């Protein structure tokens, strides 16, 4: 009991959630406690106090065991007030160990009820509680060499174009001679034909 978080749970509609894990959140302390429901409240024991107290909390009463309160809140009178709660699925609960009758060889024995906590294992199941150590994380290997980057080949290589011929700029253009008009020599005098208007004497 000194090492196990325990809650007594009561509901006006008869729900008990025996040996289930309950997550209790105290808004006033901003604190969450995961505990095991190992008890309930009986109206016959306190003249209807269970129902009376549950009516102030929506029909439910969550009563933490003394050692649980002191362990998480410091003193008994520190845990009064309204709380939020929910029942956790079995697979979400990590008891921090397992129950075994063979010398803690890693084999979980006894089923769900015996493996709730050390108290249930050793008291109700007469087993041995075997704490589990956290699995060490694998260290990251430091990278000593830069990564190899392969050259990209996204752009295709283009061949040189042969659309236009290359012209030399050092030679004058060749112009063909025209034959429209005859070529006349400018060094000879013109020929004048004789006139026949007057007789020759």
Q: Which of 41, 61, 92 is the last residue of a domain?
A: 92
Q: Which of 61, 92, 123 is the last residue of a domain?
A: 92
Mean pLDDT, the chain, rounded, equals 75
Whether residue 85 sits in one domain with residue 2:
yes
Assess if residue 41 is contained within a domain: yes
Whether residue 64 sits in one domain with residue 46:
yes
Q: Which of 41, 72, 92 is the last residue of a domain?
A: 92
Whether residue 88 sits in one domain with residue 20:
yes
Report CA dihedral (97, 100, 102, 108) to the nearest 10 degrees: -80
User: Hey, which residues does 11 pair with through a beta bridge?
Assistant: 60
**CATH code (residue 68):** 2.40.40
Closest CA to 40 of 24, 65, 4, 16: 16
User: Hey, which residues does 98 pair with through a beta bridge?
Assistant: 130
Whether residue 116 sits in one domain with residue 52:
no
Query: pLDDT category, 14, cuts 50, 70, 90?
Result: confident
Assess if residue 74 is contained within a domain: yes
Whether residue 65 sits in one domain with residue 111:
no
The rounded distance, in Å, linking the Cα atoms of 70 and 79 is 9
In Å, what is the CA distance from 5 to each residue of 142, 143, 151? 42, 45, 62
pLDDT tens track for 84-99: 999 998 777 778 899 9
Assess if residue 184 is contained within a domain: no
The tally of domains found in the chain comes to 2
Assess if residue 196 is contained within a domain: no
| pLDDT higher than threshold 60 for residue 115 | yes
CB 45 within 8 A of CB 8: no
pLDDT tens track for 120-142: 899 889 999 998 854 433 444 44
Assess if residue 175 is contained within a domain: no
Calculate what percentage of the chain has a pLDDT beyond 70.
Answer: 65
Whether residue 128 sits in one domain with residue 83:
no
Q: How far is C-alpha 93 from the chain's CA centre? A: 23
Mean pLDDT of 175-199: 51
Whether residue 88 sits in one domain with residue 98:
no
Whether residue 43 sits in one domain with residue 85:
yes
The rounded distance, in Å, linking the Cα atoms of 16 and 160 is 87
Residue 32: which domain range? 1-92
Assess if residue 150 is contained within a domain: no
Assess if residue 151 is contained within a domain: no
Q: What's the confidence (pLDDT) of residue 181?
A: 47
Assess if residue 174 is contained within a domain: no
pLDDT tens track for 59-112: 999 999 999 999 999 998 888 888 899 999 877 777 889 999 988 888 889 888
């Amino acid at each position: 009991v000194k090492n196990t978080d325990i809650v007594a749970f009561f509901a006006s509609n008869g729900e008990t959630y025996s040996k289930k894990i309950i997550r209790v959140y105290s808004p006033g302390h901003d604190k969450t406690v995961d505990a095991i429901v190992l008890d309930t409240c009986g109206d016959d024991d306190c003249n209807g106090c269970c129902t009376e107290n549950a009516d102030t909390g929506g029909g439910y009463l969550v009563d933490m065991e003394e050692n649980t309160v002191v362990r998480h809140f410091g003193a008994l009178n520190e845990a009064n007030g309204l709380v939020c709660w929910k029942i956790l699925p079995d697979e979400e609960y990590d008891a921090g160990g397992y129950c075994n009758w063979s010398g803690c060889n890693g084999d979980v024995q006894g089923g769900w009820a015996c493996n709730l906590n050390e108290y249930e294992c050793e008291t109700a199941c007469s087993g041995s509680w075997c704490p589990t150590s956290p699995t060490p994380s694998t260290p990251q290997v430091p990278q000593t060499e830069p990564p190899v980057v392969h050259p990209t080949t996204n752009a295709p290589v283009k061949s040189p174009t042969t659309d236009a011929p290359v012209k030399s700029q050092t030679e004058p253009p060749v112009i063909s001679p025209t034959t429209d008009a005859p070529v006349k020599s400018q060094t000879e005098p013109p020929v004048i034909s004789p006139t026949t208007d007057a007789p020759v004497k």
